[in-house]
Amino acid sequence: MIVKPLSAETTLSANSTVSDASCVRIYNDSGSDALITNETTTGSFTLPNGAITFVKKTSTDELSSSGNVKATSVAFAIS
């Protein structure tokens, strides 16, 4: 997997667009499972501790987390 970061990594806890990202890489190093929520659409999922995932969203959608997870905007391509 090739990841192209588009912004500095930040701690995601409160609502954030993560630099107006359309794709966000999230790494949970909080020590416990974290609930990741798209506050704009109200969709959510649980991200286990130590897991990495990617979230596709619109640039204005705001994400939040129940724990302090790391997030960064990334480029993506579908082939």
CATH of the domain at 22: 2.60.120
What pTM value is reported for the model? 0.92
Q: Which domain holds residue 65?
A: 4-75
Write the secondary structure of the chain as one string of H (helix), E (strand) and C (coil).
Answer: CCCEECCCCEEECCCECCCCCCEEEEECCCCCCEEEEECCCCCEEEECCCCEEEEECCCCCCEEECCCEEEEEEECCCC
Query: How many separate domains does the chain show?
Result: 1
Question: What is the full per-residue pLDDT of the chain (79 aa) written as tens digits?
Answer: 788 999 999 999 889 999 999 999 999 999 999 999 999 999 999 999 999 999 999 999 999 999 999 999 999 876 6
